[in-house]
Structure 1
């Protein structure tokens, strides 16, 4: 893997990632709440394992589920990891159904370990996605027989720029820390039309802030591993720009414009995760549990209620001989299950998600992988005028690994 070509590609993908984030990366009506729906972004191996990985190392690709995993990168190893996903979403209500296709980057990551004692990583990935559309809302003008029609569209989301550091404290213990900068824009456009005029209201909300997290991985018995993560609560600062315009007789006039107006902070919760993994011959088994204490943030929403979130994940993978000479002996086969209780309650119903995944890791040369995974998930319900979603997700991830930082030897 040529170093200059790798770094040039990394820079180009960063630019493409920023361009892609300006477009809708979801079509879920639940992205109307808060900062949008949580991003499904993950690295290739973890996507096929039910999004588990708190107790997994980084020997088969970067693992963003625990910063301590970066300490397990091989000595002098450099990893370049990037990927994308496509979602086909079917939405059902009591009397209608819709289908939408969206796509996005999942992550762009660099990881390295220069001396075998510590590993570091730099990642850019989406943190939340917004992409909703409410059209044809009819209302009456108070005190008159006339009516007006409202169309509302939302787009944008938050990005996470993240630095990870993992250090090997002993043969069996790795500790890690991560520092994330969260930033992004959520735009809502509302158009109101009557028989005589047309109003256009655009509101752009900007959020940014830092969040810290810690991680631990410990091998307490041969082939038995334990992982722990903590993400500390933080507040994202917000501001908004508002522009209101009016069209009358084909002439446009700007009625109001404000920039940089302060809005309420958005509070992110304390999050705690524990994980376990074990090897039985060539079969890897892994399990994760994450809890986010949203109820302690005192967040409020006009439509929904924030509640504590619980996420359970199970995963399994099998490779006949990861270090073998035969190609198909080194292929990694994966499967996983995931349940997310959600952090929103709307009309007294939890917006929860059930998901199942299948994945495969195809070797490229000695150290690199192409990771493919497919997942089917069900979110929400048709009860209480809500929306039920069935989401087909295809993830494609490339993990390129090489040995750098070695001195050239001359005879």
Structure 2
């Protein structure tokens, strides 16, 4: 049944013209296509974030790493972080042969972070971001005896998250947590209409609209081991090499849901759809949606140079492994064609020469990464492999000075990826261009002189 339904969806994609929306049949399953749970800095490194720490060094700036709340203890300035993304997807089908392209633009997060007590290592962050997205509209055509039947499959909605997180730093150990509120909706419908010149038929609409919300909790930790240190007296600088370990976990969660179901006939007029008769209607049916347990672990190896101008991260490289147990997912007690997903990520960044500060491009942080894994959607039973590469840069808007505590950084990420392989009838290629704007300053500081 799942194979037939997906095949019908793909048939319709070859008949539609491109529109400015995400139009992926994979969004029909679960709660839709999943957004990356990391900021633009991490996305430019293949999604590396569990063992990565923002805001520790002067040349990196202070993007807020909400993928691991343990990093909030490193915050030393109040920061505003905004992420935007342009997404372009190409859906391809082998049988029937065809392809369909869609493009869309969406904000990916708005986050504020601040130190609560810099000396004791307390930090706070809060923000809003989309977690998943459902948005598709697909037409199919079929022949029933002498009549032509048009099917329209539509879906919209997704899951959103508002979070508040707290982090604490003790020398080499950081711990933290995020807690907050999940909310969203999943509205799906199937419309049918006969195309006939001699016999009139009303059109039918079968819809299910579900609204859901609930609390969530996740936690993280990081631990750093200093490997070696070398001092250069003539340069008045010190090089230090260290390993940073990180881990995060998100608890299994229950969302409270309310559902409206309807089966009706309607007609299309110049003023829109007009309902003729409601054949079946049930409103406000209560239920539960179960979101799965997930965990991730990673390691980063990095070099830091300290001089009279401050501390600067010269380069870092790391790896990360993440798992989400999607077989635990339930929608009103029902399962869907989902599997446990996993992803392996490798990435890094380097800054050519931030210490002398003479050349702009020597202060830019260059980043790259790669990821590989298995997607959580499994409509055809063969599994969906996922692979992607990313490139990016952290562009300082103005030159850093030791007496100036204002940082403005534009972070960019270019991602090329693919869902599916030769064993799948349907594959999806995507290109994502992300921009992050990080604004940091010393706020709430009591003046000593007026």
Per the alignment, residue 274 of structure 1 pairs with: 297
Q: 1:382 to 1:156 in 2, by over 3 A?
A: farther
CA RMSD of aligned residues (A): 2.5
Aligned residue for 1:349, secondary structure, equals coil
Indicate if the aligned counterparts of 2:38 and 2:49 stay in contact, CA closer than 8 A: no
Looking at structure 2, the residues matched to 96 and 297 of structure 1 have their Cα atoms a distance apart, in angstroms, of: 32
- After superposition, what is the alpha-carbon deviation per residue over 1:318-365, rounded to whole angstroms, capped at 9, x for unaligned? 112445433222110000001131223232211221000000110023
Corresponding residue number in structure 1 for 2:245: 226
Q: Is the 8 A contact 1:353 1:379 kept in 2?
A: yes
Match of 2:52 among 31, 41, 56: 56
Cα distance in structure 1, aligned partners of 2:328 and 2:31:
17
Work out the CA distance in 2 between the residues paired with 1:55 and 1:401.
22
Cα separation, partners in 2 of 1:302 and 1:164, compared to 1, 3 Å? closer
Q: Which moved more, 1:323-332 or 1:171-180?
A: 323-332
Matching residue of 1:3: none
**Counterparts of 2:285 and 2:111 in 1: how far apart (Å)?**
34
- Secondary structure of 2:42 counterpart: helix
Q: Normalising by the residue count of structure 1, what TM-score does the alignment of the two structures yield? A: 0.86
Map of 2:74 onto structure 1: 72
1:380 maps to which residue? Answer: 420
Q: Can you list the C-alpha shifts for 1:134-172, whole angstroms capped at 9, x where unaligned? A: 3124264xxx8655322111111111111111011x211
For 2:266 and 2:136, the matched residues in 1 are separated by: 25
2:331 and 2:286 map into 1 onto residues whose CA distance is 17
Separation in 2 of the partners of 1:147 and 1:99? 26
> In the superposition, relative to structure 1, how do residues 272 and 253 fare at CA in structure 2: closer, same or farther (>3 Å)?
same
Q: Aligned with 1:68: secondary structure? A: helix
**Quick check: 2:216–2:251 contact (8 Å CA) kept in 1?**
yes
Following TM superposition, by how much is the alpha carbon of 1:294 offset from its aligned partner in structure 2, in angstroms? 2.4
CA distance in 1, matches of 2:355, 2:123: 23
User: Which of residues 340, 357, 381 is equivalent to 1:325?
Assistant: 357
SS at match of 1:58: coil
Q: CA, structure 1 residues 24+124, in 2 after alignment: closer, same or farther (shift >3 Å)?
A: farther
Q: Say if 1:34 and 1:218 are closer, same or farther in 2 by CA, change over 3 A.
A: same
Deviation at 1:298, TM superposition (A): 6.3
Q: 1:304 to 1:93 in 2, by over 3 A?
A: farther
1:359-408 residue CA offsets vs partner (Å, 9 max, x unmatched): 01100233221011101001123645x31111011001101111112110
Size of the aligned set, in residue pairs, is 381
Query: CA contact under 8 A between 1:34 and 1:301: conserved in structure 2?
Result: no
Secondary structure at the counterpart of residue 73 of structure 2 = helix
CA–CA distance in structure 1, aligned partners of residues 185 and 68 of structure 2: 27
CA displacement, residues 116-135 of structure 1 (integer Å, 9 cap, x when unaligned): 12111111111001122331
Residue 12 of structure 1: aligned partner: none
Deviations 1:228-264 (A, max 9, x none): 111111122222223444236967424154432224x
Q: Which residue of 2 aligns with 1:397?
A: 436
- Give the Cα–Cα distance (whole angstroms) in 1 for the partners of residues 189 and 344 of structure 2: 36
Question: 2:133 matched to which residue of 1?
Answer: 129
8 Å Cα contact 2:141-2:148 kept in structure 1: no
Write out aligned runs for 1:131-170 (5 A): 131-138=135-142, 140=144, 146=147, 148-168=149-169, 170=170
In structure 2, the CA distance between the partners of 1:389 and 1:102, relative to structure 1 (3 Å rule), is same
The unaligned stretches of length 5 or more in structure 1 are 1-22
Separation (CA, whole Å) in 2 of partners of 1:301 and 1:96 = 36
Max Rg structure: 2
Compared CA separation, residues 252 and 31, structure 1 to 2 (3 A): closer
Among residues 292, 295, 315, which one is paired with 2:347 in the alignment? 315
Structure 1 window deviating more from structure 2 (400-409 vs 322-331): it is: 322-331
Q: CA deviation at 1:99?
A: 1.1
Identify the residue that residue 187 of structure 1 maps to in structure 2.
187
* Structure 2 CA distance for partners of 1:347 and 1:44, relative to 1, 3 Å: closer
Please tell me whether the aligned partners of residues 25 and 130 of structure 1 are also in contact (alpha carbons under 8 angstroms).
no
